[in-house]
């Protein structure tokens, strides 16, 4: 897909979900000690609602992509989940629970990690699922089906947030190539975080993330906050820029 069309349809996908999965720098009531695991299909409607909740609750997860026809994680995907469906499966080692489907996972995350009920706009209700399905259709067939790929020894790391139009194509590619990754959500925490990383339209003078947050830690390390940002420990690679990341994944892992 050409670049302007790619970004346009990615923006439309986020708009269809009213940019849910953008704000995320709120303190969770409880921070999980151990990393959550999500069996995910990037284009799946239910998976999208779960990833939105992860961003808005400021939670990270190890993502095991399960595209249509994918085999890499089929054996380890918990047996309670229907085979070859796009239902998300969340494994929470902290509570030792395995949950299947957005209607179960989203309320669980809100209750356990924020002590609150799920807001209407994030429930797995028919209108939200329809909008999430439409968002998938707008991006179709990206992030849907498995492609032959080389399995990495160690999972990759991706800094992202759900609605980010630049990060979505990277997540789609990770999904198609069945590359497991630690998803680190850098949702926005204040108005000056909004918009692209350059120019910082809402903070033209001096951009500063909210102190003590994940964004702040990222800023201290890189001198800016910008997603997507990929780390590949298998090859000692760390990189910004969505197009460069896509090209890297293709030449390194597509078989
Ligand atoms: N040219 C970059 C643009 C990336 C970009 O601007 N990403 C936005 C999110 S979609 C961002 O990092 N905004 C600043 C922020 O979230 O603080 C790319 O293609 O990766």
Question: 14, 21, 185, 196: which to mutate for ligand 1, most atoms within 8 A of CB?
Answer: 196
Q: How far apart are the CA of 139 and the centre of ligand 1, in A?
A: 19
Q: Which H or E element spans position 53?
A: helix 45-56
The number of beta carbons lying within 10 Å of the beta carbon of residue 180 is 17
For the chain, the domains span 3-189+202-253
What is the tens place of the pLDDT at every residue in 12-22?
A: 999 999 999 99
Contact 216 CB / ligand 1 (< 6 Å)? no
How many residues does this entry show for the chain?
A: 255
Instruction: List, as one string, the DSSP characters of 143-204.
Output: TTB---BPPPSS-EEEEE-TT-TTHHHHHHHHHHTT--EEEEE--B-SGGG-S-SSS-TT-S
CA of 166 to the centre of ligand 1 (A): 6
pLDDT averaged per 10 residues in sequence order, the chain, 255 residues: 92 97 76 96 96 96 95 86 80 96 96 92 96 96 95 98 98 98 95 86 79 94 96 98 98 98
CATH code: domain 3-189+202-253 is: 3.40.30.10
Q: Using a 6 Å cutoff on CB, does residue 14 contact ligand 1?
A: no
204 alpha carbon – ligand 1 mean position (Å): 16
pLDDT in tens, 46-61: 999 999 999 999 999 9
Give residue 28's pLDDT.
64
């Amino acid at each position: 897909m050409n670049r302007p069309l790619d970004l346009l349809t990615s923006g439309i996908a986020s708009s269809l979900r009213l940019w849910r999965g953008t704000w995320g720098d709120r303190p969770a009531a409880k921070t999980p000690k151990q990393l959550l695991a999500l069996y995910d299909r990037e284009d799946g409607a239910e998976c999208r609602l779960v990833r939105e909740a992860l961003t808005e609750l400021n939670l990270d997860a190890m993502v095991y992509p399960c595209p249509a026809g994918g085999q890499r994680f089929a054996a380890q995907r918990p047996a309670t989940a229907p085979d070859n469906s796009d239902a998300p499966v969340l494994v929470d080692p902290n509570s030792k629970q395995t949950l299947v489907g957005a209607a179960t996972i989203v309320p669980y995350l809100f209750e356990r990690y924020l002590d609150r009920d799920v807001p209407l706009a994030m429930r797995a209700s028919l209108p939200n699922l329809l909008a999430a399905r439409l968002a998938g259709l707008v991006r179709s067939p990206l992030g849907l089906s498995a492609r032959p790929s080389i399995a990495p020894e160690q999972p990759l790391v991706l800094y992202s947030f759900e609605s980010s139009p630049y990060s979505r194509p990277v997540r789609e590619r990770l999904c198609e190539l069945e590359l497991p990754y630690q998803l680190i959500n850098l949702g926005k925490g204040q108005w000056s975080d909004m918009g692209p990383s350059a120019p910082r339209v809402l903070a033209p003078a001096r951009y500063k993330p909210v102190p003590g947050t994940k964004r702040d830690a990222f800023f201290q390390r890189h001198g800016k906050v910008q997603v997507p940002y990929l780390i590949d420990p298998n090859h000692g690679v760390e990189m910004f820029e969505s197009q460069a990341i896509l090209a890297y994944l293709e030449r390194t892992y597509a078989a």
